[in-house]
Structure 1
């Protein structure tokens, strides 16, 4: 038994060491990319940021904004809008909304119209763990008070109703705070088809940069909406935000 305990202890210690070493390497990569960016070596900086984001799935606020800035400098506005959209999903900011609207308006792009409702939706999404934690704590407190009143022989129905409202509110907030699945068109002269088939009727040709809702997928086709009409676009012409 002592040998088994020692073995698992050593295994845990090694895993912890590897985790710390991995985090150190990631921090070094962030610093390296930031230095390259500040030195105006934008292509090299973007390559490091891309590895962090695409290969390792890690990012921070500054990284996404810098990636968007690099793509804007190179006139790749659809890529700039992609990274700004990602940033906004994780770090809701009205200034970023204004920047996206500015870039989209300059290119006459659709899908970047935001309302206060969507802004607060994203804001809740960022802090929902705190909201759920507070709501759950209040629900627990009310359960204790309900039990106490029942033991005292008093009517607990007002507390029960309040608790139900708290739980329903948490459920509604969770459901409506889910961001819509969206994608950005990545190529010019992309065909929007009436049905998921190359032989289907052509609805319209569009260029890159438009942000559209992801309504579904059928094989290589994405179902979306364009000017109030359900249309289909080939998947290789899109970059997904979810």
Structure 2
């Protein structure tokens, strides 16, 4: 495992290695680390079968943030095809703009083409907004304190175990603002494994 960690730290990993690391960590009873590597494996391969494994492991250890709702699956599907969708919307925008110019040159009213153009441009704007997938992280250690502000003197929201997956909302100094049980909380960056390859 130490050898794998050294390879991972130097960004020379493969998806198969991430999967092996996840199963080693699971065997060692480190659910949080196992889920961290399973999440990275999923990001690298989009292997849908690993979602069931993550949900099973999270259920076994009573961890939050792994439920696969229909909305989460739809968003995941959308992100898998975001480039073709974006290119298709741009092509439609160019097409409707061209039609509007041709109609204008022929002294015809291009209102329909312009309305369709604005609808496509609105869809393209929404596509750009949805393409910025939120960043997630996994609580790294047991007995991690979540605070209600970015300060060690802030109030304690909860003390949680390692392995919970949370949505990252922002950063301030050494504090990461996260979504926890429908509210915002802050966690020290050393207690969070950010899910980025």
Q: Normalising TM by the smaller chain, what interval?
A: 0.7 to 0.9
What is the CA distance between 1:109 and its match in structure 2?
Answer: 0.4
Q: Which has the higher strand share?
A: 2
Answer whether contact 1:184 1:209 (CA < 8 A) is retained: yes
Answer whether contact 2:23 2:34 (CA < 8 A) is retained: yes
1:236 has 2:190 as partner: yes
Q: Report the CA distance shift for 1:112/1:123 in structure 2 as closer, same or farther (over 3 A).
A: same
Answer whether contact 2:86 2:127 (CA < 8 A) is retained: no
Answer whether contact 2:100 2:113 (CA < 8 A) is retained: yes
Q: Report the CA distance shift for 1:173/1:230 in structure 2 as closer, same or farther (over 3 A).
A: same
> Which residue of structure 2 aligns with residue 54 of structure 1?
9
Q: Report the CA distance shift for 1:229/1:146 in structure 2 as closer, same or farther (over 3 A).
A: closer
Structure 2: distance between partners of 1:45 and 1:73: 17
Structure 1: distance between partners of 2:36 and 2:183: 24
Structure 2: distance between partners of 1:44 and 1:199: 36
Structure 1: distance between partners of 2:178 and 2:2: 35
Counterpart of 2:167 (choices 198, 213, 217) is 213
Q: Report the CA distance shift for 1:137/1:211 in structure 2 as closer, same or farther (over 3 A).
A: same
SS of residue in 1 equivalent to 2:81: helix
Higher relative contact order (CA 8 A, sep 6+): 2
Counterpart of 2:115 (choices 156, 161, 168) is 161
Show CA shifts across 1:191-212 (max 9, x none).
1223333233323211100111
Structure 2: distance between partners of 1:196 and 1:214: 14
SS of residue in 2 equivalent to 1:119: helix
**RMSD of aligned residue pairs (Cα, Å):** 2.3
SS of residue in 2 equivalent to 1:223: strand
Counterpart of 1:224 (choices 170, 178, 190) is 178
What is the CA distance between 1:54 and its match in structure 2?
Answer: 3.4
Answer whether contact 1:92 1:123 (CA < 8 A) is retained: no
SS of residue in 2 equivalent to 1:65: helix
Show CA shifts across 1:156-183 (max 9, x none).
1111111221221122122123221221
Question: Structure 1, unaligned stretches of length 5 or more?
Answer: 1-42
**Bigger radius of gyration among the two:** 1
Q: Report the CA distance shift for 1:157/1:59 in structure 2 as closer, same or farther (over 3 A).
A: farther
Query: TM-score by structure 2 length?
Result: 0.85
Question: Structure 2, unaligned stretches of length 5 or more?
Answer: none
Structure 1: distance between partners of 2:9 and 2:2: 15
Query: TM-score by structure 1 length?
Result: 0.71
